[in-house]
Amino acid sequence: MARKSSFYKARWNRCGLNETRAAEIIGCTVEDVQRFDDEGAPIAERLLLLWDSKHVNHDGWDGFLFSRGILRYKNRRWTPCMLKAIHNEREELDALRREISRLKTWRGLFTFSVYKAVNCVRHHKARRGLKID
């Protein structure tokens, strides 16, 4: 068996592409890809490696690109800071939902009322200059 070219190694081992998909990406025929596998094609190899560096190759991520530290989908862009902020906001919303569901119980409502009354008394005493317990 003849030794495969670096194009084949980049296509199959690095990018994980079959001949048909590689032909679609490069814009050539399957026969051309087979010839590139045997003879090599530096420009086509670079094109595949460039595509691989930008393509997010996981199920459910079709259409997403990763370029220069930015995740892109159609005309939307996300930076790492934006994704972290979205995650933090989501956690905060989940905490608020849990708090609201807790307050909807009698025990939660009673506990909230007691804390509110204690804070009102403390605030009132502090404004009058009285000693707080």
Band the pLDDT of 27: cuts 50, 70, 90.
Answer: very high
Domain membership of residue 94 (yes or no) is yes
3-state helix, strand, coil in the chain (%, to 5): 65, 10, 25
Average pLDDT, the chain: 86
> Domain with 44 in it: what CATH number?
1.10.260
15, pLDDT greater than 90? no
Band the pLDDT of 104: cuts 50, 70, 90.
Answer: confident
The structure's pTM equals 0.52
Higher pLDDT, 42 or 66: 42
* Residues 61, 16 within the same domain: yes
* Residues 27, 54 within the same domain: yes
In this structure, are strands 70-73 and 76-78 parallel, antiparallel, or unpaired? Answer: antiparallel
Q: Which of 63, 78, 93 is the last residue of a domain?
A: 78
pLDDT at 31: 95
Domain that holds residue 74: 6-78
Mean of pLDDT values over 78-104: 91
Q: How many CA atoms lie within 13 A of 8 on its CB side?
A: 11
Q: Which of 40, 59, 78 is the last residue of a domain?
A: 78
Domains: count for the chain: 2
88, pLDDT greater than 60? yes
CA 74 to CA 65: how far, in whole Å? 9
Candidate ranges 3-7, 78-82, 98-102, 128-132; pick with highest mean pLDDT: 78-82
CA 5 to CA 110: how far, in whole Å? 75
